[in-house]
Structure 1
Amino acid sequence: MKRVFAVVIIILSLSIVNGVASANPDFNFSDIENHWGKEAIQWALENGVANGYPDGTFLPNKPVSEAEFLAMLLNAFPNTKLEIENTPNNGSIWYENYYTVARKYRVKHINEANADKPISRVLAALMIANSAGKNYNRDGAVAFLYENDLSNGRTSKTLRGFDYEGYLTRAEAVTFIKLLNDKKMNERFLITQSFNTEINPRAVIYQPIIMPKPGVIQAPTYTEIQALLEKKQNGYTLFPDDNPRVAFIVRQNGSVRVSFNINPNFSEISVLAHGADDETHQLIQDILQLYGFEVSNLKRDITNKNNSGKNAGIPEKFTYGNYEATIWFQAMGVIIDMKKKEVN
């Protein structure tokens, strides 16, 4: 009886990989048949990236821990998988050698103290960027996923739509890693060369042009405004501005056409138009509509006021929905200052 018991122990211990016990070598898990991630899960199981549980389940909707995701990621790359196999595990914890190899490859932001805690979606993004040798900040890592079609976000393909602090499920984890494989991005795990955090210049594409106070303004993304300009086919190009008071500028054939100055703390938008022609007024109107303003009569109002003989530089006030607008007609063009009405 003792001999049989010893054999059982050996068999079970051999089935434990990446901290998850698998007693189902045929991968016929009871809870993945109708799951959206079935294909990725099957791939991960067949390629030794992930395992299921002894009770015949995979638990695809269970949050994946930091150590589990690290193991999945390292096992998906031939060079790190080989290093894992050749790195002795001197402790009693299954993930010790994974963290040892991860440190060698300068995987950032991981901590063995958090090994058993659910991993956040943004930490997973940072680790995936690390696998490509990139030491991006949070926004840069998410943009890296988007740029390589590794994610469409949780609610939208924007930075705020990624759900940074949300947990990553086991199905989502293996889906990320299968996409790396499909795009041949897992041929070699690269050592991060930069010790300093890098800025991904593509991140601006996926962030709102402004981050307003909740419920005040619905900010469009860089991509949405760029799409509007492309439809106009008038040579417009969009540029974020380093000045925190200037949200962005629109150029036409190299010349500044419109500057949008946005102060979300006071719910203000000031638009500086470099030209008072109808085309510029229409451009302002279209962009303001992306921000949710009812400004269908903007061009007519400005044109009428401008043609009514009003003195340049004298402000005129009018209302758009819950906003009060002040327009100044100046030689340089038009300045529009939008303020949310005060509630008495």
Structure 2
Amino acid sequence: MRGRFYDVDGAIAYLYDMGLSKGKGDKPTIVGFDAKAALTRAEAVQFLKTIVDKVADLSMRQRAQAQQTNPNVSKYKDQIPQPQKPPAQQPSGFKVPSADQIKMVFDIDGYRVYIENPASGFMVYKNNSPVLTVTIQGALTMFAADMRSLHKNPELPMLVQQVVALYGLPPDTVAYDINKGKDNALTKKYGNYSVSIATQGIVTSLIIRK
């Protein structure tokens, strides 16, 4: 029976497989074996002792004539760290609250919310009459709230302000601006958002665009 004839990496893998070496790193790897480094006297003594302890047949064998491939080399190759993907960019539109969050805003006697998808909008009824329609358009870049009969429903501007906050939009002066703009059309800026408020008939519309 002939001996083994491996290249350097194959020989290192063979030593690991046979339990004759642990390498110099935290785990056995080709690089961690440090094949070009010289053995210290203590390392040489330990290596010979390991051979005597673990190898039953110490007789010399003739090396194979052709170089062999050790299929286990791949087990001991250092893993090349893969480049990390940059964090996914957050969509430029508004954030989308849950249906339960929206319903909490209108947890008031006489109010009911009809909502299928908060990313599209919802409708609100008061005493079985529609009082608010919220529509989200343009891939979450336009928020529109149509409020009916504000003179009969003076609480609506403050409720809409809470909804605006849920969608991640600047909420601080929404109620004030709605009350100001319901009689005279209003346009202004909330930071990066353009805002328009106008009344047609009994419907006052708030539109926020990013």
TM score, norm. by length of structure 2 = 0.50
Question: CA 1:290–1:337 in structure 2 vs 1: closer, same or farther (change >3 Å)?
Answer: same
Residue 269 of structure 1 pairs with residue 143 of structure 2:
yes
CA contact (8 A) 1:237 1:251 kept: yes
How do residues 111-126 of structure 1 correspond to structure 2 at under 5 angstroms? none
For structure 2, list consecutive stretches of 5 or more residues without a partner in the other structure.
Answer: 1-89
User: 1:266/1:225 Cα in 2 relative to 1: closer, same or farther (>3 Å)?
Assistant: closer
Separation of aligned partners in 2, 1:335 and 1:305 = 9
Q: Distance in 2 between matches of 1:217 and 1:245?
A: 9
Q: Identity of aligned pairs, percent? A: 22
* 2:197 pairs with one of 313, 320, 327: 327
Which has the bigger relative contact order, CA under 8 A and spacing at least 6? 2
Letter in 2 for 1:324: S
Equivalent-residue separation in structure 1 for 2:119 and 2:162 (angstroms): 21
- Do the aligned residues in 1 keep the contact of 2:93 with 2:139 (CA within 8 Å)? no
CA displacement at 1:280 relative to structure 2: 1.2
Conserved 8 A contact 1:271-1:337? yes
Q: Secondary structure at the residue paired with 1:265?
A: coil
Residue deviations 1:32-63, cap 9 Å, x none?
Answer: xxxxxxxxxxxxxxxxxxxxxxxxxxxxxxxx
> In the alignment, which residue of structure 2 is the partner of 1:229?
106
- Give the residue type in structure 2 aligned to 1:239: Y
Q: Which structure has greater strand proportion?
A: 2
1:219 aligns with 2:96: yes
Aligned position for 1:258: 132
Report Cα offsets for 1:43-90 as digits up to 9, x if no partner.
xxxxxxxxxxxxxxxxxxxxxxxxxxxxxxxxxxxxxxxxxxxxxxxx
1:322 Cα deviation from its structure 2 partner: 1.8
Q: Which residue of 1 aligns with 2:175?
A: 299
Q: How does 1:67-146 map to 2 (within 5 A)?
A: none
Residue 152 of structure 2 is aligned to residue 282 of structure 1? no
Distance 1:241 1:335, change over 3 A: farther
Matched, 1:249 2:123: yes
Shift in Å, 1:217: 0.9
Larger helix fraction of residues: 1
Asked if structure 1 preserves the Cα contact closer than 8 Å seen for 2:182 and 2:204, the reply is: no
Cα deviation digits, residues 145-187 of structure 1 (max 9, x gap): xxxxxxxxxxxxxxxxxxxxxxxxxxxxxxxxxxxxxxxxxxx
Q: 2: CA distance between counterparts of 1:274 and 1:331?
A: 9
Q: Could you say what the CA RMSD is over the residues aligned between the two structures, in angstroms?
A: 2.5
Matched residue SS, 1:270: strand
Q: Aligned AA for 2:130?
A: V
Q: Which amino acid aligns with 1:259?
A: T
Change (3 A) 1:318 1:289: same
Deviations 1:286-332, CA, capped at 9 Å, x for gaps: 1111111222212222323445xx3xxxx431112321011112222
Write the distance in 2 (CA, Å) between the matches of 1:241 and 1:272.
18
Aligned to 2:158, what secondary structure does the other structure show? helix
Q: Alignment partner of 2:106: what SS?
A: helix
Aligned-partner Cα distance in 2 for 1:289–1:273: 17
- The structural deviation recorded for 1:283 is 1.4
Verify the 8 A CA contact 1:266 1:339 in the aligned structure 2: no
How many residue pairs get aligned? The number is 119
Give the C-alpha shift of residue 245 in structure 1: 9.8
1:293 touches 1:321 (CA, 8 Å); kept in 2? Answer: no
